[in-house]
Structure formats: C-alpha cells, structure tokens
Amino acid sequence: MAVSPFACTSPDDEKAMLASIGAKTFDDLFAHIPAEFQSNDFNLPEGLSEMEMMQHIRAVARKNSSDLTNFCGAGFYDHFIPAAVNSLTSRGEFFTAYTPYQPEAAQGTLQAMFEYQTAIARLTNMEVSNSSLYDGGTALFEGMMMALRITKRNRVLVDEGVSPIYRTMLRSYTRNLKIEYREVSMSGGVADRAAFAKQLDSTVGAVLLQNPNFFGCLDDLTDLIAQTHSAGAIAVVSAYPISLGIVKTPGEMDADIVTGDGQSLGLPLSFGGPYLGFMATKKKYVRNMPGRIVGATKDGQGRRGFVLTLQAREQHIRREKAASNICTNMQLCALRSVVYLSLLGKHGFADVARQCMDRAGYAWTRLKSIKGVEPLYDRPFFNEFALKLPKDAGEVVSDLISEGIAAGFPAGRYYTGMENVLLCAFTEKRTKMEIDILAAKLESVL
Amino acid sequence: MKLIYEISSKGRGGVRIPEDRISEHDIISENLLRATPAELPEVSESEVVRHYTKLSRRNYSVDTHFYPLGSCTMKHNPRACEAAASLPDLCETHPLWPQLRHGGLLTQGSLQILYSLERMLSEITGLAEFTLQPMAGSHGELTAVMMMAAYHRDRGNKKTHIIIPDSAHGTNPASAALGGYAVVTIPSDASGDMDIELFKKALNNETAGVMLTLPSTLGVFNPRVKEIIKAVHEVDGLMYYDGANFNAIMGRIKPGELGFDLCHLNLHKSFSTPHGGGGPGTGPVGVCEKLRPYLPISRVAKTKDGTYTLDYDFPKSIGYIAPFYGNFAILVRAYAYLLMLGRDGLRATSDRAVLNANYVQEKLRPYFAAVTKGRCMHECVFSGKTLGEGVHTLDLAKALLDRGYHAPTIYFPLNVPEAIMIEPTETETRETLDAFCKDMIEIFELSKTDPDAVHAAPVTTPVGRLDEVAAAKNMELVYQAP
C-alpha cells in the first residue's frame, strides 16, 4: 500500500479505523464520488527520501550565484540580519500556529503583533498600524482604496516617482474598478508641485507619493500633502522603513496613510518573497483600514491580554462589503521585523540608517567623478541615487555581472528615455573596498 | 506579561552596528531629517531572546498541540522543507537579478524551482498552466477574478455578477467585489450543497462565473458538480475551484478534468508550508488552456537550450499582480514537500486525511449533530446545539483549550448553527484522535451536569476569556508609555 511520508497511522491502525467506520479500503471512503470524476493518471515522479530531496534541491540551488557584490536595490535591499532573528522566529510555537482565532491560546502571536504595530507607528510617526499586509505594492493599492472609501471619490493621482513596480500593479488592480487612475510626471527628480496643483480638484480622492522616491531622491512633502488636504483628498505615502531611522517621517509631513515594504526589516531577499506590507494611519481613519488589527484588553481577572479587534471591517463578517478581501496578514514576517527592530533598538536602528547614507555618500563622490558619469538629479538622497552613463546602462550591468558585481538597476527598464541611467543602492553591508572596486570596474567598461 | 517596550532601559543596546564612517559627503539638511529617533526599545540581545522565547510559549501550535482547526489544514510542517528553503543560494538572490541583461544566468536554480513547481501543480490539478505569484489564498481568488474579467472583456461578453454559495469563505465574495463584480449568493440545500434549483434560477447570460469550494466548507463533495459546470459553460461563464479543501482529494481528483476553468491552491494548507501564526500564505492559480493568455506577467519559461527565462510579452495578460514571482521561500517548501510525497504519497496523504476525519465523525456522531448522514471528506462539521442548556460552541472551544487542544473552527460555516468544524489532518496518530474524542465527549457530558464548569473555561491558559467589546471600544492599538 502507498505510504504518506508524514502521516502517523500504522497499517494496523488504518485497518482498525477503516473497520470502525464500516469501510474496508481507502477507496470505500470515496465511493460516494462518481468513479468517472476520479483520475488515476498522475504524471508525477516517485517520492524521494528527505536525503534525496535535499541532494536534489542543493544541486538546483547551486545553479544560482548568490555571491555577487550587490548594488541593485530599487526598493528591495540587502541588509544585515542579526542571527537572533532567525533563531527566534524559527521557533515552532510561532511558525506552526495560525491566525489567533482563540486569543487565550495565541497570546504570543497577539502580543508580538501589538508590539509590531507599535514599532510601525513609531517608525512612521503615525497613530495606528495594522498587523501587516502582503507586500509594499498591494499595501499601496489597499492604501489607495482606503483613501477612496474615506473620501467617497474615485480619482487617483500618482507621482511618477512612486516605484514603477508598484505602479504596474496599481494599473492592473484598478482596471476593473470604477477608478480614474492618473500618473503625474516628476519635475527635477521630485513630485511636480505645479502639475499636482493643476490636477488636484474636488474629484481627487487619493494622492500617492513615495519618499525616498524610486530614484532615491529625498523630499519634504509637507507642502504637497497640505495641498492635497485643501482639495479634500487623502495623502498616501509609500516609505522605505530603514530610511525612517533618520529621514523626516511621513507622519511629520502630516501624511494620512503610510505604506511600504518591510523586507528591509530583517527579511532575506529570497528572490522576491515572502516580504510584508505595512500600513499605518491616523486614528480617525482606523475603521477604514484593511487587514488584521490587534488591540489590548483585559480578562475577567483584570489581566492584560490581546485580541483581534475591529473585525466588523473584515471579509469573514462583511463578505462582499468588506474593506478588503484580505484574510491572512504576513504574521511571521511581521514577527521578524519586530524582533529585528528590538535587537537593533532605538540607537542601533538609527545607526543602520546612518551607515547606509554614509556608504551612499562615499559612492556618490567616487562614482560621479568618473569621466562621462553624471548624476541624473543633483538632489539629496538616502542610500540610492541615479547616474547618467555615457552608454546603455543595461549593457554596463551585463558587463559587470561577469565580474561578480550587480552594479545597479537600469532605470530604462521602466522609464522611457532613460536607457543610460543606472540606479545604485548602498546598504550598511557594502564596504569602502567594494565601492572602490565598483568604481574601478565601472570606469573600465565605460 | 510585559511588552518589549516596558522592559526597555535607557542606554541599553542589542546588536552592535559598525560605527566607521567612510564618507565626507555632507549630511542632508535638517528639514529632511526626523526630529527625534524612533522610540524603539533599548534592550540587550539576551532580553530580546528571553522575551520572544517566553512569548512563544504563550501560543498553541501544531508543534505543541493537536490543532484541528477546520478549513485551515493544520498539518505537520516537515523540517526538511524548512532546511530546503533556508539554503543560502536560495535566500540571498535579489529578485531583480533575472531582469538584468544576462542576469537570468545568476538565478537559474530559482527559476528552475518555479518552473518545476508550476508543472507539478498543473499535473495535480489537470490545468494547463499556473501562476505562482498570488501571496495568499484570497490574493489568488482576486487574481482569478481579474482573469475572468479579462476573458469576458476580450470576448465582448457583458457580465455583471459572480455566483457564490452561502457556505463559501468570506474571501470569495470580497474578491469578486474587488474584481468589479456584483455577488449573487445562493443558499445551501439540506445536504449542505448549493441549492441547484435556486442556482439555475440565478444563472443567466450576465453570469461571469461561479466560485465553488469542493469539497464544500461542510466537508461534503457535491455529486452534481458536473451539472453545475455544464450549465455555467452554456452561458460562457467560468468555473472557479476554490482549493481551500484540496487536502481531501489530492491524487484522486483533478479539478481541470471535472471542467473547472480556474483554481487556486493554498500551499500553506494542502502542501504543508507553515501557517506562521497567520501568514505568509501562498495561493497559486491554475487556468485551463483558453485562459492562458490572461495569466499575470512575468511568466517563467524553459527555452530550447534548457535554460529558464522570464517572459513578459503577453498582450492579453492582466498585468502585474505582485512585485515579483510570489512568495518564493514558501514555494520552495511546497516543492520540497511534493518531491517527498511523489505520485503515490499524494493520494496516500489525502486518503489518510479523509480517514481521520471520518473516524472522528463517527466517534462523535452519537453526541453532536453531524451535518452529514454519510461520509465526510477531510473535515467533519457538527452543530453544538446538543450541548447542555445555556452551553454554547464557544464554551466547548474554551474547554478544549484547558484540555490541551487548539479548538476546532467555530461558528463557520455560517449556515450551520453553533458550528463546530473539525479537521484532524493526516499527521495525527490514532491515539491523539481517540484522546481528543474522549475529551469532546467528556465536555459534552459536563455541559449537562455542570454547565458552570464549562462556562468558566479556560482556566489553564495565560489569560482567561478576554473582553473583546472593550477592545473594540477602547481601541488601544499601540502601546502608549505612561
């Protein structure tokens, strides 16, 4: 008889159990399903032992080259992850639990979520946070939908500095909805105030911005957000959480909704996921926020405990009228973030941000001094900036890959007329020597 | 227990970050900096480790407790899958590398895994092609609804609504709405299946499709499914298979062969990737041949020379629904799991999941009102109406916590009063199932003889029943330092 490698019943158990329910064989359990519904034709390999499986996956994994020196960011960054993050979050009590439907049996998960919400609120300078969404792109979409629910309007203005990876997602998601989605060109590397002023009228419900933007440029969005508010619209700002260790926060600029990807907070790049989307807002908008939210309360004896709260917003109660279709959050990833933030702490976290900025600052001086290389925008940046090269940036990247360097991301992949633009990112992991080598190699191929 | 913020002490620090400076670049101007540092905790590494270790012990989990949470398939998570997903060659690759010129060569291993998993899922479900991008089951549903919309737009069909039975998960109607469709809800008949007469009345030329969970959330396989599919196809509607309960039929039934056009699978259920305390999930979507052009981009392809590449040139595609290729590290786990199961293990797994559920159903049938007279599939659903007077399903759930079990799913599906939904999964021993049933029966009897004892539960958990009304009223959602 076929064996299920992880099932726990012995052949004798199975015989007795089948008999106890009046069946002789496993096929009897499916006898009520018409035979013509069943298939015997599964073209799959024979099962492997654990050892064989690991040998196979190791061999496949070795076809990757993970030891490149990486200067490619574009919203997803190679940060250092302290060992305790993996060690704590790989505890089975955390990762083999599920959604805390029974709060008395899930105080570990619930309290960690409450601590995560607190950390996100403090990073962004916002009043409340949910307990995470899928990723930065879907979080921005959810932020946009939330803004439209609040304002009961249907027009959206999106700055072109918002990640093009996210904008392609927004375009897909808005296609079937009664939403007028419009992108606004940048001016000099930041959001174009005049263009926004022209288009911001009483039909606009949401203004979507990003800081630092896709080109790494920093901006103080306070004026644009004030302008958004005077048109009666909601300002949604997508942020890079590590930058919040040092740069002016969306909360300080009076943003209404802050979203972003939490990948940089202790999550490996892992070829694209799982990551986590975060979302924070003002308290007055919390009932319009999607996703799970944890709140503090007390038990009968007055002991503090935590529960999922404000559930009347959610799909399992509201069904097609829910704030979102989202069910699960990214709990384990959110746990990684709060452990990461706790390990670094108030000062360590700011230090990481400063280190990133320091590395980028050094590289800026070094790279723009290469003959033929110019900054695309001469604006303040955090850890990433765009350079105009004398030749196709895609070609340059391709040349340097064979030297073991991912030199950056060619902006021409998403922006027309930017074929020569290279976007370079720097984290605390990049050393002076690596940056010097990047500069030398870059010089040699130009 | 204290919060991490409450054990913070000024000047304490955790992980050290190098302090060297290599830049002479001017620090950015004051107006671009935050005014004060974020108030993160100031704690040592040992405090962080002890704090989160203690927190973990305040959880019930599959590793520590029987967790028969219906519809969630809380099976054991094999550690080999964790080991596979943790290989540095897989964790440390940047998702944008394959989008660089010649960068695809850097990530051949990752692309091969995606391609192989897609092929395996297609074979298991009998569908033509899969996208692995959706980041949760509900995200898969939305992706599928978007493909339905693209198909109908392309065909010039005027479609306004999607039909969904009332026993469906709440994500079905919510996803349909987010895809731009109205929702028509069909009540269940006495056997728990979608009422076929009411369904036929609701079906018309404006029906974009039907979302069906099979077996249904009552754990019952609808024998008339082919009749439903035929009727839907007659109005050029599309049949969507919600794979929430796929653990019941793996290796036996291919939704594609039944005639379903689209389907999502929850890898965190049937394919054993960890639930993580509530995510990350992953909800790949498969489609039949005629819907292939609408799949999201990018798509992984195998070239003639045997290398793997990403394709973007699909003008009818719904576009991008995720930043990259899905929750890759979760996909690796599912791939590892499927490699170990193999063809025969797949069927053997579902066989045992269904056996365990029927075993529990028959043991409890004399005490609780089972919703089905006959066989169940991978889960069994009861009503707690037979409990002692004034004792509710919620009380039973709490009493189970005291006896060392996570509670079953309760009050779902919505069409069963006082619902108790038990999904044992295949990774439990007969002894565990026996002990659980014995405790269920004891609580049942206690509810008649001493209802107060059941009302008082739980008493052994870190906290007792929590005041959810106060939580919603007070809205204390972040910690405020005193």
Using an 8 Å Cβ cutoff, are B137 and B174 in contact?
no
Q: Work out the minimum CA distance from A65 to partner chain B, whole angstroms.
A: 5
Rounded Cα distance, A193 and B30, in Å:
21
B187 touches chain A (CB under 8 A): no
A25 touches chain B (CB under 8 A): no
| Residues 168-227 in A contacting B (C-alpha not used; CB under 8 Å) | 168-169, 171-173, 175-178, 218-220
B26 pLDDT higher than 80:
no
Q: What is the pLDDT of residue B13?
A: 84
Chain B residues whose beta carbon lies within 8 Å of the beta carbon of residue A286 = 475, 477
pLDDT digits (tens, 9 = 90+) for B70-83: 999 999 999 999 99
Distance of CA A124 to the CA centre of its chain: 15
The residue-averaged pLDDT of B343-348 equals: 95
**Yes or no, beta carbons of A169 and B322 under 8 Å apart:** yes
| Residues 48-67 in A contacting B (C-alpha not used; CB under 8 Å) | 48-50, 53-54, 56-58, 60-66
pLDDT digits (tens, 9 = 90+) for B441-473: 999 999 999 999 999 999 999 999 999 999 999
Give the pLDDT band (50/70/90) at residue A131: very high
**Yes or no, beta carbons of A342 and B40 under 8 Å apart:** yes
Rounded Cα distance, B11 and B27, in Å:
25
Rounded Cα distance, B420 and A237, in Å:
43
Cis before B280 (ω within 30): yes
pLDDT digits (tens, 9 = 90+) for B299-314: 999 999 999 999 999 9
Q: Work out the minimum CA distance from A46 to partner chain B, whole angstroms.
A: 5
**Yes or no, beta carbons of A172 and B296 under 8 Å apart:** yes
| Nearest Cα residue to B461 out of B62, B56, B58, B65 | B58
Chain A residue closest in CA terms to B324: A272
* Helix or strand (DSSP H, E) at B142: helix B137-155
Q: Work out the minimum CA distance from A295 to partner chain B, whole angstroms.
A: 5
Chain A residues whose beta carbon lies within 8 Å of the beta carbon of residue B83 = 54
B22 touches chain A (CB under 8 A): yes
A343 touches chain B (CB under 8 A): yes
pLDDT digits (tens, 9 = 90+) for A284-334: 999 999 999 999 999 999 999 999 999 888 788 788 888 788 877 899 999
Mean pLDDT (chain A) is: 96
Chain A residue closest in CA terms to B98: A271
| Residues 224-263 in B contacting A (C-alpha not used; CB under 8 Å) | 225-226, 251-254, 257-258
Give the pLDDT band (50/70/90) at residue B217: confident
Per-residue HEC secondary structure of chain A comes to CCCCCCCCCCHHHHHHHHHHCCCCCHHHHCCCCCHHHCCCCCCCCCCCCHHHHHHHHHHHHCCECCCCEECCCCCCCCCCCCHHHHHHHCCHHHHCCCCCCCHHHEHHHHHHHHHHHHHHHHHHCCCEECCCECCHHHHHHHHHHHHHHHHCCCEEEEECCCCHHHHHHHHHHHCCCCCEEEEECEECCEECHHHHHHHCCCCEEEEEEEECCCCCECCCCHHHHHHHHHCCCEEEEEECHHHHHCECCCCCCCCCEEEEECCCCCCCCHHHCCCCEEEEECHHHHHHCCCCCEEEEEECCCCEEEEECCHHHCHHHHHHHCCCCCCCCCHHHHHHHHHHHHHHHHHHHHHHHHHHHHHHHHHHHHHHCCCCCEECCCCCECCEEEEECCCCHHHHHHHHHCCCEECCEEHHHCCCCCCCEEEEECCCCCCHHHHHHHHHHHHHHC
The residue-averaged pLDDT of A410-430 equals: 96
* One-letter amino acid for residue A305 of the chain: G
pTM score: 0.97
The residue-averaged pLDDT of A204-227 equals: 98
Give the DSSP letter string of B250-305: TTT--HHHHT-SEEEE-TTTTT----TTT------EEE-GGGGGGS-S-EEEE-TT
**Yes or no, beta carbons of A43 and B123 under 8 Å apart:** yes
Show the tokens assigned to B291: 């819907």
**Yes or no, beta carbons of B328 and A17 under 8 Å apart:** no
Chain A / chain B CB contacts < 8 angstroms: 705
Show the tokens assigned to B410: 């309760």
Domain B343-468 annotated CATH 3.90.1150.10:
yes
What contacts B339, CB < 8 A, 6 or more positions away? A45, A47, A48, A53, A56, A57
Mean pLDDT (chain B) is: 95
Show the tokens assigned to A71: 């200067």
Q: What is the dihedral of CA A8, A14, A17, A22, to 10 degrees?
A: 150
Q: What is the pLDDT of residue A151?
A: 98
Q: Which of A339-348, B23-32, B286-295, B327-336 is the least confident region? A: B23-32
DSSP 3-state of B88: helix
* Domain edges within chain B: 82-340, 343-468
Share of chain A above pLDDT 90, in %: 93
* Domain edges within chain A: 69-79+345-445, 83-339
A1 pLDDT higher than 60:
no
Mutate to test the interface with A, among B33, B123, B135 (most CBs of A within 10 A): B135
B481 touches chain A (CB under 8 A): no
What contacts B418, CB < 8 A, 6 or more positions away? B383, B384, B385, B387, B392, B393, B411
pLDDT digits (tens, 9 = 90+) for B416-427: 999 999 999 999
Using an 8 Å Cβ cutoff, are A176 and B159 in contact?
no
| Residues 191-220 in B contacting A (C-alpha not used; CB under 8 Å) | none
Q: What is the dihedral of CA A272, A264, A209, A397, to 10 degrees?
A: -60
Q: Work out the minimum CA distance from A104 to partner chain B, whole angstroms.
A: 6
Burial class (CB in 10 A: 0-12, 13-18, 19+), B435: middle
Tokens 């619902």 locate to B419
The residue-averaged pLDDT of A433-445 equals: 97
Show the tokens assigned to A131: 């307990």
Q: Which fold has domain B82-340?
A: Aspartate Aminotransferase; domain 2 (3.40.640)
Distance of CA B120 to the CA centre of its chain: 19
Q: Which fold has domain A83-339?
A: Aspartate Aminotransferase; domain 2 (3.40.640)
B208 pLDDT higher than 90:
yes
B25 pLDDT higher than 70:
no
B417 touches chain A (CB under 8 A): no
* One-letter amino acid for residue B245 of the chain: N
The radius of gyration of chain B from alpha carbons, rounded to an integer in Å, stands at 25
Q: What is the pLDDT of residue B105?
A: 84
Strands B285-287, B262-265: pairing is: antiparallel
Share of chain B above pLDDT 90, in %: 89
The strand pairing partners of A181, in sequence order, are A156
B157 touches chain A (CB under 8 A): no
The residue-averaged pLDDT of B324-351 equals: 97
What contacts B452, CB < 8 A, 6 or more positions away? none
Rounded Cα distance, B182 and A369, in Å:
59
Q: Which fold has domain A69-79+345-445?
A: Aspartate Aminotransferase, domain 1 (3.90.1150)
pLDDT digits (tens, 9 = 90+) for A55-112: 999 999 999 987 889 999 999 999 999 999 999 999 999 999 999 999 999 999 999 9
The residue-averaged pLDDT of A19-27 equals: 97
